[in-house]
Amino acid sequence: MALTNSGRTPGPAGTFRDLEADIMFSHPEAHPRLPGPSGTGARGPLFLGEGSGSAQPSGYSSKADAVANLTKPSSSAVQQLSAAITTVLKLNKNKTKDEALRLKKEKVVHDIVKAYGVGLTHVTGLEFSNRNDSSNHAETLGTFIIVFDSVLVHPGFVASVILHESSHAQRNAELDNAGVRLSFATEDIWSALKEFEGAQLEIDSAAKTGITEKEKKEATSLRNSHLSEIEALMGKKTRTEIENGGLDAVRARFIQQLKSRP
């Protein structure tokens, strides 16, 4: 659910090689890695295994703003928001999806975000889109969130998706502030770290959002698949560190190491 399209475009052939040479130069402890076909999951260990002690986490170890003030609305508030969803879904079926309807749906989403206290500090825009061609409930491009019709399941689900996306916006903003630019290979790692966080936040917030058991299970299965991805890209030690609550430290080290690349 709520997969993110970060707008990535595969780089030209040869990018991997250059990058790897780069990484090996600045991080002699790095593991070599064999680039596999694009889109395959596990591609062998990459680099940046558990800390060598040379890179210290600094200002990039921040908690997720998206859930800092998350709250469980009263059941009457949830009922009202549910009714609002039902109303726009009916309109969605009965009339052309015009700008007026798009704005109505956008208002419902904003009302939900407000009622649940989803943090949007790092989000520069939260828009509804009438587009039908996305397989995602929402997408985050940099710090801008776009949500689609499929998000309109129930209020808590919307809150869960938006808090997930908001966490991506925060991390993208932090990366931007660090002045780091991702390459094809490092984007895989960055994406896996963000998706793990987003899914974990959804799971941890379940009591407040009231997502269903089924939705929670889906988030859990996504979380687990991102953990496997992290293990494939960064090694088992890093996976274990993250499983033990070390995500912020891993991310901080990752950004620090990207910054120190010549």
Nearer to Zn ion, 30 or 227 (CB): 227
Are residues 142 and 125 in contact, defined by beta-carbon separation less than 8 angstroms? no
Q: Binding residue for Zn ion (CB under 5 A) from 45, 198, 210, 235? A: 198
List strand residue ranges (DSSP E) for the chain, in order. Answer: 125-128, 138-141, 144-147
Q: Which residue has the tokens 């963000």?
A: 194
Nearer to Zn ion, 50 or 188 (CB): 188
The residues in 138-197 that bind Zn ion, with binding defined as CB under 5 A, are: 195
Shortest approach of Zn ion to residue 161 CB, angstroms?
A: 9
Distances (CA, A) of 162 to 81, 108, 109, 141, 249: 15, 13, 9, 13, 24
The residues in 3-32 that bind Zn ion, with binding defined as CB under 5 A, are: 4
Shortest approach of Zn ion to residue 191 CB, angstroms?
A: 8
Nearer to Zn ion, 2 or 84 (CB): 2
> Of 1-9, 30-38, 152-160, 185-193, which part binds Zn ion (CB under 5 A)?
1-9
Nearer to Zn ion, 160 or 256 (CB): 160
199 forms part of the interface with Zn ion (CB under 5 A)? no
Nearer to Zn ion, 47 or 128 (CB): 128
Give how many residues touch Zn ion by CB under 5 A: 3
Task: Give dist(CA 24, CA 14) in Å, integer.
Answer: 16
Shortest approach of Zn ion to residue 103 CB, angstroms?
A: 25
Q: Which residue has the tokens 């609305």?
A: 73
Q: Which residue has the tokens 């941890």?
A: 204
In sequence order, the 6+-apart residues with CB closer than 8 A to the CB of 168 are 4, 6, 140, 194, 198
Interface positions with Zn ion (CB under 5 A): 4, 195, 198
